[in-house]
Amino acid sequence: MTKIAIIGAGVSGLIAARDLTFCADVTLFDKSRGLGGRAATRYATPYEFDHGCQFIQGQSTEFNRFLEGLVEQRILKRWDARFAEIDSGEITHQRQWGADQPHYVPRNRMNMLGHHLAEGLDVIREAQITGLNRKNDGWYVTHHMKSEYGPFDWVISAIPSKQAADILPEEFTHLEVISNRKMGGCFSLMLGFDTPLPTEWDAAVVKNANISWVAINSSKPERSDAFSVLINSTNNWADKYLDDDRNWVQEYLLTEAIKVTNLPLHQASHKALHLWRYANIESQAGKPASYIDFDNNLAAIGDWCVKGRIEGAFKSAKDLSKQLLPVLDQKRFNLISA
Ligand SMILES: Cc1cc2nc3c(=O)[nH]c(=O)nc-3n(C[C@H](O)[C@H](O)[C@H](O)COP(=O)(O)OP(=O)(O)OC[C@H]3O[C@@H](n4cnc5c(N)ncnc54)[C@H](O)[C@@H]3O)c2cc1C
């Protein structure tokens, strides 16, 4: 059977693995302990924060069908948030999210999605891949502890574009294109409170500020009761201060968030900051949705190929599997009939 290594167990890597498993022996590698990549959860008992992806929405029929399946399996639930737009400290628009344009979140916590998608798959965690090495019998992936895994017939990168460009070999046909796909950063500020704050909204898009988003994380369905707030900086602001003092960044974002929301956020008894160095893609080209090199048996996928959304990660993975499965299936057919 064809052996495939997928680097990255975020949504794109997991979806690709689930599809390719039909025709191949797939091993996933992820540098972190968790599963699901940026569809992540940070724990700080009694608080929990979806500090990456905030909610999931579908546009295409195929993705909406996938979401409906997850709702039926009780993995996702609709988040009927009280939504607001805030501009210069004023609420300029308010509405209640509902069934007309459903916004989904995994029950309990965001990383449930990755854990569900990884069921039955072979995932090697805490394994940062630092490079690829071709030998006579196939590709080997190099682990940060210097050991090698292989041989593999195919290696698929399912990690952010800059990280992919750092580890994919020079012979990969699409290396230059990928190196030029720049992703923006984002700081996520997590605040936990002893007592709930009175708020008129659960989720707010912020305009004309260095903050882009504020959510009452604990308002999501089936979450911990401990009142928690998640604040995201804009990509532009994060990119300017990526390497600045984190305490300064945290205090700056807290002060900004107080100005923007008029909420007494300084009362937080828990404060933490996370930097997503590769949070989102600036230019969202969408074509091709995956980069495949059939001469070298290498590929790169991820949301950055399409759009910085879970749907983008899904579409990229599906684009890869639709092209690769017929090739693998033919190979399997040839093996069986030999
Ligand atoms: C703050 C924030 C808010 C967001 N909000 C939303 C939202 O509301 N709705 C929405 O749809 N999307 C949102 N997104 C985007 C969404 O999270 C992503 O589009 C999606 O999760 C990307 O999936 P992916 O598989 O392409 O990449 P990732 O999720 O980044 O997965 C890549 C995986 O690869 C691993 N990895 C990286 N390098 C290596 C290596 N060298 N070796 C081994 N493993 C490696 C990482 O640990 C990670 O698990 C948000 C993202 C952020 C950061």
How much is the pTM? 0.96
> Which atom of ligand 1 is nearest the CA belonging to 127?
43
The residue whose two tokens read 């007309």 is: 100
Average pLDDT, the chain: 95
Residue 337: the pLDDT is 67
CATH 3.90.660.10 domain residues, the chain: 40-109+183-282
- 31 CA distance to ligand 1 centroid (A)? 13
Q: Which residue spans within 250-317 are E strands per DSSP?
A: 270-281, 291-293, 298-300
- Give the separation between CA 136 and CA 141, rounded to whole angstroms: 14
Q: Which residues sit opposite 273 in a β-bridge?
A: 189
Q: What is the pLDDT of residue 336?
A: 64
Tokens 């899904």 correspond to what residue? 314
**What is the per-residue pLDDT for 333?**
62
Tens digits of residue pLDDT in 62-106: 999 999 999 999 999 999 999 999 998 899 999 999 999 999 999
CATH 3.50.50.60: which residues of the chain?
1-36+118-181+284-338
Q: What does the pLDDT read at residue 146? A: 73
Tell me the per-residue pLDDT of 271-309, one tens digit each, with 9 for 90 and over: 999 999 999 986 666 578 999 999 999 999 999 999 999
The count of C-alpha atoms lying within 13 angstroms of the C-alpha of 224, restricted to the half-sphere facing its C-beta, is 20
Question: Does the C-beta of 47 come closer than 6 Å to ligand 1?
Answer: no
Distance separating alpha carbons of residues 253 and 84, to the nearest angstrom: 19
Contacts of 187 (CB under 8 A, 6+ apart): 232, 233, 237, 238, 241, 249, 253, 273, 274, 275, 276
Tens of pLDDT, residue by residue over 245-257, are: 999 999 999 999 9
Q: In whole angstroms, give the CA distance from residue 335 to residue 143.
A: 31
The CA distance from 306 to 296, in Å, is 23
Q: Which of 233, 215, 282, 189 is nearest to 54 (CA)?
A: 215
Q: Assess whether pLDDT exceeds 80 at residue 152.
A: yes
Looking at the predicted structure, is the pLDDT value of residue 5 above 90?
A: yes
Ligand 1 atom closest to residue 54's alpha carbon, by position in its atom list: 8
Residue linked to tokens 């080209």: 285
38, 129, 156, 274: residue to mutate for ligand 1 pocket, most atoms within 8 A of CB = 38
> Is it the case that residue 145 has pLDDT exceeding 90?
no
Domain 40-109+183-282, architecture per CATH: Alpha-Beta Complex (3.90)
Strand duo 291-293 + 298-300: pairing: antiparallel
Peptide bond into 264 cis (omega under 30): no
Q: How many separate helices (H) and strands (E) can be counted in the chain?
A: 8, 20
> Cβ of 320: how many Cβ atoms within 10 Å?
27
- Check residue 329 and give its pLDDT: 78
Q: What is 1-36+118-181+284-338's CATH topology?
A: FAD/NAD(P)-binding domain (3.50.50)
Residue recorded with tokens 């995932």: 123
